[in-house]
Amino acid sequence: MENFYGDVDKIAVLCNLDATDVTEEIQETINAYIDAEVNIYGFNQNTRTEKQNVKRTDLETIILERSPVIGVEYVKHFVNTDNPVTLGSNDYDVDLDTGIIQLRNSRERTIEDRIVGAPMFFSAGVNAIEVKYTHGYETVPDDVRRFANTFGARLVRELTRVNSDERDGNLKSVKIGDFSESYDVTKAIEGMAYDTVLQAQLRALKMKYFIAV
């Protein structure tokens, strides 16, 4: 699976399985779980075009909806709907960690820091600002990758809690004599709720990356 947060080969080694046993379905489950629990926007790189309303006539800063920011392609503000003004890259500063864009001619700036001819305020109006930018992570953070591997190995073990010779080739079911049981991903994840090491790692990721919406 492209953009998988973990390492398929490492998970397979931890579980004493073939890499093919760590299916795309399992990889997608791992990514989706981390996104849902830690960062709903994920840990891959994405490009977004975002429009924002401006209610004030003295607005100097905006906050992008997604962060961290990797780069900004353009910032436009609409003096009127037919004539958007594309700001020069020297007209504003971007805090990549927070996604805050601040005009260089804001009132906080000294005269020496200001740019002649650049705007002091964003134009007010509906969809008055349009920003195209790339957000996310150029590479998956190491701590997220480690958790994906730990969680993935635990998930696979939960789905294959019996000797591999006894399973029927499907990671989600097992048959031993007259006994058979099926495991789904939800049940497997519920079984990990009391794994204190895993939960401690998850709490650490939440503290670092959690985004509330």
Average of pLDDT values for 54-62? 86
Cβ–Cβ < 8 Å for 39, 141:
no
pLDDT beyond 70 at 80: no
Handedness of CA 41, 47, 49, 53 (dihedral sign): positive
Give the per-residue pLDDT at 90. 82
Give the per-residue pLDDT at 117. 52
For the stretch 96-132, pLDDT in tens is 999 999 988 765 655 555 555 557 788 788 888 999 9
pLDDT beyond 90 at 142: yes
Residues whose CB is less than 8 angstroms from the CB of residue 199 and which lie 6 or more positions away in sequence, other chains included? 193
pLDDT beyond 70 at 153: yes
Give the per-residue pLDDT at 116. 52
Lowest-confidence segment of 27-36, 70-79, 115-124 by average pLDDT: 115-124
Tell me phi and psi for residue 166, to 5 degrees.
-90, -15
Give the per-residue pLDDT at 163. 38
Q: What confidence category does residue 173 fall into, taking pLDDT thresholds of 50, 70 and 90?
A: low
Would you list the domain boundaries of the chain?
8-42+142-209, 46-135
Residues whose CB is less than 8 angstroms from the CB of residue 201 and which lie 6 or more positions away in sequence, other chains included? 146, 147, 150
Q: Which pTM was predicted?
A: 0.72
177/101: higher pLDDT = 101
